[in-house]
Amino acid sequence: MKQLLLGLPLLAISACTPQPSQPAGPTTSPAVQQVGYPAGSPSNTTPAFDGAYDGQFINNLSVGKTTLECPNLSVAPALQIRNGLAQFKAVVGTFQGYITPQGALTMQAERGQTFQGQIDPYYVLTGRVTGNCIYDTSWKRSKIY
């Protein structure tokens, strides 16, 4: 049961889009690897916010959707920032984008979902995921790279 609950945060952001069957990749490496086309600019970024960020909450704001389409969950998936490139994995794909020196972050997933947020002076990232479902999310830096 505990393993089932640990996997639920990944479904919160991704349950809105049907997915083809794919083998699961390794999840133990903290390295951030660019996939697809990240939002933002690698020339307008900073490593000042680099680190591992733990999910604090997810608030489902999806109107007119069932909980099967857009589940209500309480914790966002882990997020990492390395060399200014932010990334988190969900079933719909990998969200990624470059953080600006001012702490603004826009990320995109391969299937069109987006995240827009801001890191505050206490290294708390808050923002919104939009796509078929809408979630407000928050992360707090737990480890500095």
- What is the set of domains in the chain, with CATH numbers? 2-16+32-143 (2.40.128)
Q: Give Cβ neighbours of residue 140 (< 8 Å, ≥ 6 apart).
A: 53, 54, 56, 122, 123, 124, 125
Mean pLDDT of successive 10-residue stretches along the chain, which has 145 residues: 40 41 42 68 95 94 91 89 94 89 96 95 97 94 95
Cα-only R_g, the chain: 14
**What is residue 33's predicted lDDT score, i.e. its pLDDT?**
58
**What is residue 137's predicted lDDT score, i.e. its pLDDT?**
94
Rounded to two decimals, what is the model's pTM? 0.74
**What is residue 38's predicted lDDT score, i.e. its pLDDT?**
86
Strand ranges for the chain from DSSP E: 51-60, 79-82, 85-90, 93-98, 104-108, 114-119, 124-130, 135-143
